[in-house]
A = this chain, B = another copy of it.
Amino acid sequence: MFKKVLVVEDLDSIGYGISIMLKQELGVQEVVLSQYCGDAYLKYIKSVHDQTPYDLLITDLSFNEDHRIEKIANGKQFINKIRGLGYRTPIIVFSVEEKPTAVKKMVQTHDISGYVVKSRNGLRYLREAVESIYEGDKYLSPQVSNINTKKELFEIEDYDVMLLSHLSNGLTQEEIARIFNQSDISPCSLSSIEKRINRLKDELKAKNTIQLVANAKDLGLI
């Protein structure tokens, strides 16, 4: 079994549960708990320099803000930093996030070994994930195990997300057109923006722009 595991999770109630499960049920010798991404990053770097690296990272994605000023605000940025430096320590994401698009993006682009959705049996699946990954396999908890088979209902590009978030910030379509023009983002004409908004309204089954933005928020696109 893994000897040294770093758990990055802001909620102590969860971190405590994970930690005990790892030690008592899986026999992990050393479990280090970190409640801040920045702190976790420092701990990770230090362990590498001390020649006592972690065998496994388990991390949440979303972290509450705090009095502390954090350069690394969430699990995604944390993983980016680690992978950006070339370290290939296996990583398990343990998060409530289960939207297929978001999960797929995480798994594909960051070399994630396992993705476990926090749920009624999340801790059990996390245990299975650790065991599988120790055997060299990858692991996805049941809620997201189908992300690769079922094709996307529709493609939302970065452009669309920018558009939606500008709308949700109260910008008028004309203002957005102006911004896209200045930023050399194409298409940038008012007409094209209208058309794109219409397509999004189709895809997200919205009758008007208000509902469009509301639905986009519900889906977590913005």
Looking at A43-51, A104-112, A166-174, A184-192, the stretch in contact with chain B turns out to be A166-174
Judged by a CB distance under 8 angstroms, whether A126 is at the interface is: yes
* Alpha-carbon separation in the docked complex, A35 to B123 (Å): 13
Looking at A6-14, A74-82, A83-91, A150-158, the stretch in contact with chain B turns out to be A6-14
Residues of B within 8 A of A169 (CB): 211, 214
CB atoms of B217 and A12 under 8 A apart: no
Query: What is the size, in residues, of chain A's interface with B at 8 Å between Cβ atoms?
Result: 40
Judged by a CB distance under 8 angstroms, whether A159 is at the interface is: no
Distance (whole angstroms) from the CB of A2 to the closest CB of chain B: 18
* Alpha-carbon separation in the docked complex, A12 to B20 (Å): 13
Judged by a CB distance under 8 angstroms, whether A66 is at the interface is: yes
Partner of A208, one of B21, B124, B126, B170: B170
Distance (whole angstroms) from the CB of A26 to the closest CB of chain B: 14
Partner of A17, one of B10, B13, B207, B214: B13
Find the residue from A17, A124, A210 having the highest chain B CB count within 10 A: A210
Residues of B within 8 A of A12 (CB): 17, 119-124
Partner of A214, one of B120, B123, B213: B213
CB atoms of B64 and A13 under 8 A apart: no
If the complex has contacts A214-B168, A217-B214, are A123 and B16 also in contact, measured as CB distance less than 8 A?
yes
Judged by a CB distance under 8 angstroms, whether A206 is at the interface is: yes
Find the residue from A17, A119, A121 having the highest chain B CB count within 10 A: A17
A residues contacting B by CB (< 8 A) are 10-18, 20-21, 35, 64, 66, 94, 118-124, 126, 167-172, 206-211, 213-214, 217-218, 222
28 CB < 8 A contacts A-B: A11-B14, A11-B120, A11-B122, A12-B119, A12-B120, A12-B123, A13-B13, A13-B118, A13-B123, A15-B17, A16-B21, A16-B123, A64-B119, A66-B120, A167-B214, A168-B211, A170-B206, A170-B207, A170-B211, A170-B214, A172-B208, A209-B210, A210-B210, A210-B213, A213-B213, A214-B217, A214-B222, A217-B217
